[in-house]
Structure 1
Amino acid sequence: MIRRFGAPRNRAQTYTRRPGVYAVLLRGTDVLLTFQAEPEPEFQLPGGGIDPGEAALPALHREVWEETGWRMAPLRRLGAFRRFAYMPEYDLWAEKRCTVYLARPVRCYGAPVEPGHTAAWVPLADAAALLGNPGDRHFMAAVARRIAG
């Protein structure tokens, strides 16, 4: 069974499964996060939903570029989690199934193209506390522990 973070499933609510991919983008002792201004301002792992007919890794490359302006090289899969959330931008109740990868940012091609997103370099030691959802925090903290030795 995949680990759940956040609010439990509301049995009275119908959810749409929404698979997504996200990256912990590590460069030295810093990580690249995305700051999303709307609907609620928060720091997030770069990434997002996998479009119909799209494979996971191409979706991850696309989402990281859209939200940060960077190209990246995935290193390995860290794990997965799910969370139940309302997505106001889609007017959708979703069971988000999030797969997280460790990746290396390779080259910046400019500012994020996703409206309302800003790329932010953050010290690895501070990153988990900034992230807006507990699943993202869990994987970021695991990477920080592994790096700290």
Structure 2
Amino acid sequence: MIRRVGPPPIKDRKYTQRSGAYAILPVRGGVLLTGQQGDWLDIQLPGGGIDPGESPQQTLHREVREETGWAIAQPLRLGAFRRFVYMPEYDMWAEKLCTVFVARPTRRISDPIEPDHVSLVLPWAEAIASIGNDGDRLFLQRYASSSV
């Protein structure tokens, strides 16, 4: 059973299952994150939905490159969580199954190519306090307490 993080599903609401892969990316000085700009800067672990035919690792490489501009190596699965959310960019309610990895950023290839995304490095405590969802925060806290 995958742990639910965040609010429970709303009774009688239909949710579409959406699997994704997300990365904790330790770097000198903290952790590499992505910020999605909108009405506010939503700070997130880089990652996103798994496309048909992709493995979680392929998704991780693609999404980190799109959202941060960095290439990564040695992804290691840390665990998973699920959350029930509305995804306005897709106009749908989703049960997101989020697999979290830790990986080593190897080199910056470009600026982020995902629209409205910026890459940023934050110290661990600031990253944990600033991250936009409870599942990402849970995994950042666990990783930081055991590795940093």
Q: Is the 8 A contact 1:74 1:101 kept in 2?
A: no
User: 1:50 — aligned with what?
Assistant: 50
Tell me the distance in 2 between the aligned counterparts of 1:126 and 1:98: 22
Equivalent residues in 2 for 1:5-20, closer than 5 Å:
5-20=5-20
User: 1:71 — aligned with what?
Assistant: 71
User: 2:116 — aligned with what?
Assistant: 116
* SS of aligned partner of 1:5: coil
User: 1:33 — aligned with what?
Assistant: 33
Q: Which amino acid aligns with 1:41?
A: L
Q: Is the 8 A contact 2:33 2:44 kept in 1?
A: yes
Of 70-79 and 106-115, deviating more is 70-79
What is the CA deviation profile of residues 15-60 of structure 1, one whole-angstrom value per residue up to 9, with x for unaligned ones?
0000000000012341100000137531000000001121111111
Contiguous gaps of at least 5 residues in structure 1:
none
User: 1:87 — aligned with what?
Assistant: 87
Q: What is the number of residues matched between the two proteins?
A: 148
Q: Is the 8 A contact 1:39 1:89 kept in 2?
A: no
User: 1:133 — aligned with what?
Assistant: 133
Q: Which amino acid aligns with 2:30?
A: D
User: 1:4 — aligned with what?
Assistant: 4
Tell me the distance in 2 between the aligned counterparts of 1:40 and 1:17: 27
Tell me the distance in 1 between the aligned counterparts of 2:10 and 2:41: 25
* RMSD value, Cα: 1.2
Of 52-61 and 38-47, deviating more is 38-47
Identity of aligned residues (%): 54
Q: Is the 8 A contact 2:57 2:75 kept in 1?
A: no
**TM-score, with normalisation over the residues of structure 2?**
0.95
Of 72-81 and 92-101, deviating more is 72-81
Q: Structure 1 residues 146, 105: closer, same or farther in 2, change over 3 A?
A: same
**TM-score, with normalisation over the residues of structure 1?**
0.95
Q: Is the 8 A contact 1:68 1:111 kept in 2?
A: yes
User: 2:105 — aligned with what?
Assistant: 105
Tell me the distance in 1 between the aligned counterparts of 2:126 and 2:146: 15
Q: Which amino acid aligns with 1:25?
A: L
Tell me the distance in 2 between the aligned counterparts of 1:109 and 1:20: 23
